[in-house]
Amino acid sequence: MSAAGEPRRDDAGGEPRRGDAADDPRAFYTSGYAVADPAEAERLGRWRALGARSKAAHAFQLCNRVGLFPTTLVEIGCGDGSLLAELSGLAAVVDGFELSPTAIELARRRGIPGARRLEAYDGTRVPAGDGTYDLAVVSHVLEHVPEPAPLLAEAARVASHVLVEVPLEANRSAARPAKRDEAARIGHLHAFDRAQVQALLAQTGLTPVADLSDPLPYAHHAFFGRKLPAAIKWAVRYALWRAAPRRAERLFTVHYAVLAR
């Protein structure tokens, strides 16, 4: 999650974080999911659930557009399972693999319908055979990994279709020092633009079949802030995005989802 993703304070979990996302990613994300304060955990849960609904809507929309009706789906980097729970309506089998064992424990507690395997793994080699799944979902993960191409190649190895979603953060708003600090704090190692995502797909031998961008609904902008400024921000961004989507994504962050095979 990120904003258009702002506020984006819990992108990979909660606080505080230990270590560095690049030096010790497992420790970094595990500490992010281990939130002791119940009120904070509840708030982060609501934020993740809100993000999951948007992300799942993107997945349903793109699959519908190309007539893809997956039976088996895997989410790589599934975190606490908030998105996977929403995706359980998209496929009969919804497995999840994740770097952080703490996050996987949270995902298991959800009792997600159709989840056969919810497992922590080494973040490198997905523990599934070639072509096991109809669809692999890699949502808001590539910007967190030092080398996105090998992770994407793993997704392409285990599934015939791959759905990638990232925040496009190569824009003027996200270039401001406070925004860059915030992105770094939550573990973003890359600020992608659309062309870079497409180049990554091409490098992995994946061909895009459908894509979309989303400046995100009002509820995302209002989650941490005051309602009136959030409403104004949302209305301005939405109008700019409707009028000129490609220009808008050079000004502020939108979420970009692309389905490839």
Q: Would you tell me which residues interact with ligand SAM (CB under 6 A)?
A: 11-12, 25, 29, 51-52, 55, 76-79, 82-83, 98-100, 103, 123, 139-141, 144-145, 151
Whole-number minimum distance, CB 45 to ligand SAM, in Å?
12
For residues 120 and 230, which CB has a smaller minimum distance to ligand SAM in the complex? 120
Rounded to a whole number of angstroms, the minimum distance from the CB of residue 63 to ligand SAM is: 16
- Minimum distance of ligand SAM from residue 105's CB (angstroms): 12
Q: Contact, 15 vs 35, CB < 8 A?
A: yes
Shortest reach from residue 225's CB to ligand SAM, in Å:
20
Q: Which are the contacts of 208, defined by CB distance < 8 A and separation ≥ 6?
A: 198, 201, 258, 259, 260
Given the complex with ligand SAM, which of 41 and 231 has the nearer CB atom?
41
- The smaller minimum CB distance to ligand SAM, of residues 9 and 144, is found at 144
C-alpha distances out from residue 115 to 87, 96, 197, 242, Å: 10, 8, 29, 37
Check: CB of residue 219 under 8 Å from CB of residue 230: no
Q: How many CB atoms are closer than 10 A to CB 111? A: 9
Nearer to ligand SAM, 52 or 62 (CB): 52
Q: How far is the CB of 77 from ligand SAM (least distance, A)?
A: 3
In the numeric block, the tokens 């973003």 are attached to 188
According to DSSP, the residues that pair with 84 across neighbouring strands are none
Gap between the Cα atoms of 188 and 41, Å rounded: 21
Q: Considering the complex, state which of residue 59 and residue 68 has its C-beta at the smaller distance from ligand SAM.
A: 59
DSSP three-state, residue 46: helix
